[in-house]
Amino acid sequence: MLVTGAFAAGSALTAGLAPPAAAQHGPAVLRPRPSTVTLGRRRVRTWTYNDELPGPTISASTGDIVHATLVNDLPEATTVHWHGIQLDHRMDGAPGYSQKATPPGGKFPYVFRVPFPGTYFYHSHVGMQADRGLYGPLIVHDPREPLSYDEEYTVVLDDWLDGLLGTPDEVLRRLNASTDHDDTLRSDLLGGVTGDVRHPLYLVNGRPPEAPATFSARPGRRVRFRVINAAADTAFRVALGGHRMTVTHADGCGVRPVTVDTFLVGMGERYDFLVRLGDGVFPLVAMAEGKGARAFAVVRTSGGRAPGPEAKVPQLDGRRLAYRDLQARTRPDLPKPERTVLVTLGMRPSGNEWTMNDRLASDPFRLRVDRGETIRVVLDNQSPMWHPMHLHGHTFQLRVPNGSGPHKDTVNVKPRERVEFDVLTANPGEWMFHCHNLYHQEQGMMGVLGYGRPPRRRAAHGHH
């Protein structure tokens, strides 16, 4: 990992206490390849970046240029998508939109500026590849970090089936051959059926509950957790036993701190929270919402026996974060929108084709906009399932009943729900706008936000 700019290993951040993870820059080469991973008692064949699960953490500082060359050791073409980063369109890793997927044996140099601090991740954007092990954290540190904390930890959540229920492609083929949905996967929080697959395992940082990841610190330390949901089909309800959490960021963007017991994180969403750690050994739990299982890790500040994976965590049923609790902190409100576009989310009678304004990805719905305008997007979910809708290359400002809504790039929309956001078209290109349920994405739920001309050939970090 080559990082240019102000940030250097070990450099003290100017405000607050220096996040210790700042010294990690990660690799300059991402090599997706077939690999064997150990998941507790099981060893499975899968695909990973650089033989790591999750892929190696790439970290940089606001304004830096990130260099990461993809070297494709897979038997299939692939890309890397930098989820949540407002980057040059040509670096977006969207096959058929920003680039042709890189063939087996090929290389692709990703070079892009990271304009805003925050918690992001990278993943393959080809087919079901991200439902194997092809994802990793991307952390952009703020050289003027306004929060003060002693430690930080990244928590990557995943649902795992590869090598246990077949490959993700095989599972997709099974779903495509069926018109039914598993009615036993239900959650009131998500308004009905929560997912398409009951996964054999749910992971924190590549580890199952039987062999959990452990986060160690001294008691009384103030810790920032960065939670990333890299799953294909699972929303998680997250809580830390014995603690309340102060949420400070949604999808990388600052929000006014709000203290809750638990939050729900959809696929593609990220939340950061602060806690002052008590003295003991605590369960960090991520309930696979509506699926009757959990991902699990341990937070340890003293000796003593670790809680078991089934430890009771009353916080899971406590005060839960809602979107209406989120107020923008670090970014100004967008200009008033000039017009409104309605996007209806639907399901075809086949039960396995998901639409945006009645269209499938093969002939996608296009939001027709001009460069430099603010538009209001109304997402109206007329389908029987919830969808975490993700827009590439932008953050949008979510409309909440009061005040300034949060800036996000992924938003959950429940059945029969309407969600509104505003987006400023300030980053020209052809941008995917899709459901981050990977099965729904592959079953058609993909539209396009396209405008302007991509920046002319300059340095790859082009626009401003």
Residue 434: CB minimum distance to Cu ion, A: 8
Instruction: Give the separation between CA 182 and CA 118, rounded to whole angstroms.
Output: 36
Residue 102 in contact with residue 183, Cβ under 8 Å? no
Judged by beta carbon, residue 30 or residue 435, the one nearer Cu ion is 435
Alpha-carbon gap, residue 430 to 451, rounded angstroms: 7
Structure tokens at 347: 């399901």
The β-bridge partners of 390 are 410, 434
CA dist 197 and 125 (Å) reads 20
Please enumerate in sequence order all residues whose Cβ is within 8 A of that of 339, keeping only pairs 6 or more positions apart, or say none: 373, 375, 376
Cα dihedral 344/345/347/352 (nearest 10): 150
Q: What is the dihedral of CA 188, 191, 195, 198, to 10 degrees?
A: 20
List, in sequence order, every beta strand (DSSP E) within 84-168. 107-113, 118-123, 135-141, 151-160
Query: Least distance (Å) from Cu ion to the CB of residue 444?
Result: 10
User: What is the separation, in whole angstroms, between the first and last Cα of the chain?
Assistant: 23
Tell me how far, at minimum, the Cβ of 413 lies from Cu ion, in Å. Answer: 9
Distance of CA 200 to the CA centre of its chain: 21
Answer yes or no: are the C-beta atoms of 6 and 61 closer than 8 Å. yes
| Nearer of residues 135 and 386 to Cu ion, judged by Cβ | 386
CB nearer Cu ion, residue 226 or residue 387: 387
From the CB of 386, what's the least distance to Cu ion, in Å? 7
Give whichever of 5 and 384 is closer to Cu ion, judged by the CB atom. 384
Which one, 99 or 381, has the nearer CB to Cu ion?
Answer: 381
Residues engaged in binding Cu ion (CB under 5 A):
387, 435, 437, 440
Residue in the structure block whose two tokens are 């960021």: 249
The C-alpha atoms of residue 183 and residue 190 are separated, in whole angstroms, by 13
At its nearest, how many Å lie between Cu ion and the CB of residue 383? 8
3-state secondary structure of 173: helix
Nearer to Cu ion, 101 or 446 (CB): 446
CB of 363 to Cu ion, least distance (A): 18
Nearer to Cu ion, 56 or 195 (CB): 195
In angstroms, what is the minimal distance from the CB of 354 to Cu ion? 6
CB of 123 to Cu ion, least distance (A): 16
Which residues are within 8 A (CB) of 460 and not within 5 positions of it... i.e. 6 or more apart?
A: 88, 90, 91, 111, 112
| Identity of the residue, 435 or 449, whose beta carbon is nearer to Cu ion in the bound complex | 435
In this structure, the chain runs to a length of 464
CB-nearer residue toward Cu ion: 203 or 435: 435
